[in-house]
Amino acid sequence: MSQTIGFYGAAQTVTGSKHLLTLNGKKILVDCGIFQGNRELRDRNWQPFPFDPTELDAVVVTHAHMDHIGMIPKLVREGYQGPIYCTPATLGLSKISLPDSGRIQEEDARYANKKGSRHTPALPLYTEQDAYACLKRFVTMPYGELQPLPGGGTFKYLPAGHILGSAFAEIYFENGERILMGGDLGRFNTPIIKDPTTVEFAEYLVVESTYGDRLHAHEDTVGKLEEILNHAAGVGGAVLLPTFSIGRTQEVLFYLRQLQDQGRMPRMPIFVDSPMAISATRLYADAKEEHDQDMKIAVDNDASSLEPHLLSLIRDSEQSKALNKQVGPMIIIAGSGMANGGRIVHHLKNRLGNPATTVVFTGYQGEGTLGRRLIDGEPTVQIHHEEVQVRAHITKLNSLSAHADQEEIMTWLKNFKTPPKMTFIVHGETKAQEALQAKIHSDLGWKTTVPSQGQEFNL
């Protein structure tokens, strides 16, 4: 019996999750995500996979964020022919996000060829058709159901509380030991979906560290949002919310409806300018088996918790462009959450120069992204090869995150009855990983390591 694990993404960086388990010679890839952020990271997407896709025997997906699934179309196009396991909700979200990603890749290639590119011709990383082709290989598994794996293993999914359908993959080896592939760890007591599963035993653990060096502010999220919206109404400005289409958009809509129902926000139009977010919101509303108690109560009371009043859903690009001419107080919710693509970029280009505009970031901003540059206070930013003056007010809802912070990670880890033989810390910037490693050592005394890109370990 032999088991190894290799780390080929989200190793000493946040994005690009790809973890390769080998069980008795059989190869199981856990997640196949896209690298996001600065150019050095994005360039990794164009390099050959560090393993042969044709030699993989199974793929296990933890959830539908692009940094965990965004390279699956390329993987299948390059010869992977096995099953791609996921939860039912993850398949639903992947059917939305992967074709959308393929379309964006094709649009970016067309734009690069039109404007000039380092590559002649510029090619898409993969196409919309590649995305639809890979979806045929997806196999759904409900939480808690055991599934055999090649190499004598089995695995099951446990709710991770991160986004709809997110899961820990608990993988058992032939010798009875197990590794818990943590994916992304969600938070306790957040709206809409159930809390993360507490886990008591695993011989090996892979845990994320996105916020391993900090604590989320214990701010009143609804109260701060109320303050921002009332200020915007007072100055007659637009509120731009760059949001992740999956998870964050739905949380923002939930809070907006709550403010309206409590009479705490002014009447102002709300635009969700993202076809992907619109489709994802419908999935969130329909997935009653994943709803937490607050959401269940709202649904039982026939409240449209994810449909605030004065809501307009913008699917068409011409409708999106028409928002540029709209004046007065309004809320525009659009992707991407890091402002490194999507329709929010056009809205920022159009409105950053207006001091009445408020830009509210709602999540993690990766190194090298437009969102990070704005949060860091840069006075001018480049958008579509043009310098744009930043006169808008830039702020952040610090308590809005789908990732556990250091304290929440430690609270979750303390449920373990016995220490894992080894805890692998992934999915974080170096500072966050080192801080979490030090905290685990000081509080729990566990054996940990921070894998580097391409590093392999015997289990």
Task: Kindly report, residue by residue over 433-445, the tens digit of the pLDDT.
Answer: 999 999 999 999 9
Q: 168 φ, ψ to 5°?
A: -85, 140
| 272 shares its domain with 334 | yes
On whether both 290 and 192 belong to a single domain, the answer is: no
Same domain assignment for residues 235 and 326: yes
| pLDDT cut 90: percent of the chain above it | 85
Q: What is the pLDDT of residue 71?
A: 98
Residues 56 and 91 in one domain: yes
- Confidence (pLDDT) at 117: 63
- Residue 309 belongs to domain spanning: 221-396
- The per-residue pLDDT for 133 is 98
CB neighbours of residue 15 within 10 Å = 24
Looking up residue 107, the CATH number of its domain turns out to be 3.60.15.10
Domain boundary among 365, 396, 427: 396
**What would the pLDDT profile of 411-435 be if each residue is shown by its tens digit?**
999 999 999 999 999 999 999 999 9
- The count of domains in the chain is 2
Residues 207 and 296 in one domain: no
Question: Are 370 and 416 contained in the same domain?
Answer: no
What number of helices (H) and strands (E) belong to the chain?
14, 22
Looking up residue 303, the CATH number of its domain turns out to be 3.40.50.10890
- Residues 175 and 301 occupy one common structural domain: no
Residues 89 and 146 in one domain: yes
Q: How far is CA 295 from the centre of its chain?
A: 21
pLDDT by position in tens, the chain (length 459): 789 999 999 999 999 999 999 999 999 999 999 999 888 899 999 999 999 999 999 999 999 999 999 999 999 999 999 999 999 999 999 999 999 899 989 988 888 888 766 667 889 999 999 999 999 999 999 999 999 999 999 999 999 999 999 999 999 999 999 999 999 999 998 889 999 999 999 999 999 999 999 998 887 899 999 999 999 999 999 999 999 999 999 999 999 999 999 999 999 999 999 999 999 999 999 998 999 988 887 777 666 789 999 999 999 999 999 999 999 999 999 999 999 888 999 999 999 999 999 999 998 888 889 999 999 999 999 998 899 999 999 999 988 888 999 999 999 999 999 999 999 999 999 999 999 999 999 999 999 999 999 999 999
- pLDDT for the residue 214: 93
Find all residues with CB under 8 Å of 298, minimum gap 6, and list them: 305
Q: 159 forms bridges with which residues in the sheet?
A: 167
The last residue of one of the domains, among 378, 396, 414, is 396
* 140: number of Cβ within 10 Å: 16
Rg of the chain over CA atoms, in angstroms? 22
In 90-245, where do the E strands start and end?
Answer: 138-140, 147-149, 153-159, 167-172, 178-181, 204-208, 238-242
- 201 and 166 in a single domain? The answer is yes
For the record, the structure tokens of 333 come out as 């919710």
Q: What is the pLDDT of residue 442?
A: 98
Counting Cβ atoms within 10 Å, is residue 147 exposed (0-12), middle (13-18) or buried (19+)?
Answer: middle
| Strand-pair category, 380-383 with 386-389 | antiparallel
Q: Give residue 367's pLDDT.
A: 82
pLDDT (tens digit, 9 = 90+) per residue, 265-323? 999 999 999 999 999 999 999 998 999 988 887 777 666 789 999 999 999 999 999 99
Q: Hunting for tokens 């856990």 — which residue is that?
A: 30
Percentage of residues of the chain with pLDDT beyond 70: 98
My answer on whether 373 and 422 are in the same domain is: no
pLDDT tens-digit map of 134-155: 999 999 999 999 999 999 999 9
Residues 206 and 267 grouped into a single domain: no
The residue out of 380, 396, 412 marking a domain boundary is 396
Instruction: Compute the distance between CA of residue 92 and CA of residue 74 in angstroms, rounded to an integer.
Output: 19
Phi, psi of 47 (to 5 degrees): -75, 155
Do residues 307 and 352 share a domain? yes
pTM equals 0.90
